Amino acid sequence: MRKTLAISMMLAAALGLAACDKKSEDKAQDAAAHKEQAQQDMAKAQDKVNDAAKENADAAKAQAEANEAAAKEAAPAAPAEPAKP
């Protein structure tokens, strides 16, 4: 009687644990899918950061060129140096 009860309890426990594995596998697959989506989103975000940095560099270059041109226009024309005898 004790053996029968012990065996049936072990069988019930094994079946219970086997039923739990499906949910764990599903959760693991969902987590993997979310991880992949997050990686894709991070790559897109990094591309946007790179584009913004390039635009900032281009704007800084254009500003420097504009400042240089404004400085040339504001400076009086330097007289030519007289020739030395």
Look at residue 54 and tell me if it is in a domain. yes
Which two structure tokens, joined as six digits, stand for 56? 């900032």
Note the pLDDT of residue 22: 62
Tell me the per-residue pLDDT of 6-53, one tens digit each, with 9 for 90 and over: 888 888 888 877 766 567 778 888 999 999 999 999 999 999 999 999
Note the pLDDT of residue 15: 80
Look at residue 34 and tell me if it is in a domain. no
Comparing 29-33, 58-62, 74-78, the range with the smallest average pLDDT is 74-78
Which two structure tokens, joined as six digits, stand for 44? 């897109």
Look at residue 56 and tell me if it is in a domain. yes
For residue 2, how many other CB atoms are within 10 A of its CB?
Answer: 6
Residue 63 to residue 61: CA distance in whole angstroms = 5
Number of domains in the chain: 1
Look at residue 62 and tell me if it is in a domain. yes
pTM given for the model: 0.52
74 pLDDT tier (thresholds 50, 70, 90): confident
